[in-house]
Chain A
């Protein structure tokens, strides 16, 4: 009885989630229409039409080297994402618990924020040369402050009354973190993480392009040198598709599962 009810609830959620995709698709098609209008106004050389771009995407997909490049970019942005969220969230959470740590870390984060990303790329190029390391470092530096702020706010705004309740049952530090603070923290971390995921893709491609270290960014540099405009557009579309995929196929479903309690109180018509 119980597993059946559970899988039914899951199926209901999946149906609602997929159905909400129509609204997103409508928005994207409006954008495509504006793109087509721009194409008709400026011509193929400046702005290839959506259809030409899709053709170029299809051609890209058939190239074996492209799969390699996409894999390299994906791994770099994933590594950058993991490091940025891992270090940022942990440091932010510690700062949220300890006033002294917050006083110490805040200026460091401000300094990191103050240095322009392009300067980090130059530094990373000197330190790592033309390897993936420079892209990863740039992602970490660009995205770390967001996770830090999320972790800090989340822990600092934890419900102390619930914490006292847990203590009254004799719950230790770790249990209280897991059952009281962490679920609250999640609602602060997800916006930070989705932003980080988007930043990770963009910054990886930028760093690859500038450091000439292969990947989709390297492809983009070559296409630009050859004035292969449809290919440039196709690569952009691919990166955007990757970013959309991470956000809507990985992060949002995870969030919905973790935060079921939040939507439970909404009246039926308001869900999504």
Chain B
């Protein structure tokens, strides 16, 4: 067990988002957290990553380092791509030379060209920025990575490439990951286990192990799993646009 959320509850301005939520991450496990928009997926992730404190419950962490990949790349506009990728290492106190070396290696892994490393984020395309954000997270050798709908804003082809990057990195480096998304087929593609968060403050309504290993499921397998689950009552909220609030 790398991370465990126990009886977490949170509210914004008195409005309860969720109550009594339990969630755990095993070593090397990628868990996809899915739910309709506004159900508090991002809040769960922020609590797990320590960015906000939960009102109730506790978070147990059994690891050294974590990293977050946000929905937007969140690169510092005044630093070059190279310095941005090395940012986490800089915060951790790594020296300039080794940290830039690591940044270059990680940039290669996510498919950034060495010539792009001296550019500022404003000169990079959206996909390149998101690659840099993934490289920045991987650069600190994290034990746990939190992904907050990281590939929502990129086009379909690139989305696949970036998902594959995450799948490969998770298999190679055995980090655990919490992958928040609202896209069921993305979740089925990248994760070992799927957790569905209710849109009606009922906490977790489904917790399923996805058959096969990420990266080894064919497009047909993924399609069939998504098809079967979309008829499942636990998933109806996801596809039911008329959420009453």
Interface residues of A (CB under 8 A from B): 161-162, 164-171, 175, 179-180, 183, 259-262, 264-265
| B169 lies within 8 A of chain A by Cβ | no
Cβ contacts B55-78/A at 8 Å (1 or 0 each): 000000000001110101010111
Shortest Cβ distance from B46 into A: residue = A164
Given A260-B120, A261-B79, 9 additional A-B pairs, CB 8 A: A162-B76, A164-B51, A165-B74, A166-B91, A168-B66, A180-B76, A259-B78, A261-B120, A265-B123
B interface: dominant SS: loop
A151 to B228, CA, bound (A): 57
A180 to B79, CA, bound (A): 10
A-B contact pairs, 30 of them (CB 8 A): A161-B72, A162-B74, A162-B76, A164-B70, A164-B74, A165-B70, A166-B91, A167-B51, A168-B49, A168-B50, A168-B51, A168-B68, A168-B146, A169-B67, A169-B88, A169-B140, A170-B92, A171-B91, A179-B79, A179-B87, A180-B76, A183-B78, A259-B78, A261-B77, A261-B78, A261-B120, A261-B122, A264-B119, A265-B120, A265-B122
Interface residues on B, range: 20 to 34
Asked if A175 contacts B120 (CB within 8 A), the reply is no
B79 neighbours in A (Cβ, 8 Å): 179, 261
Shortest Cβ distance from A167 into B: residue = B51
Asked if B76 contacts A179 (CB within 8 A), the reply is yes
A165 to B46, CA, bound (A): 11
Asked if A169 contacts B78 (CB within 8 A), the reply is no
- CB within 8 Å for A183 and B76 given contacts A168-B51, A169-B91, A169-B140: yes
A164 to B74, CA, bound (A): 9
CB interface residues, B 115-132, toward A, < 8 Å: 119-120, 122-123
Shortest Cβ distance from B49 into A: residue = A168
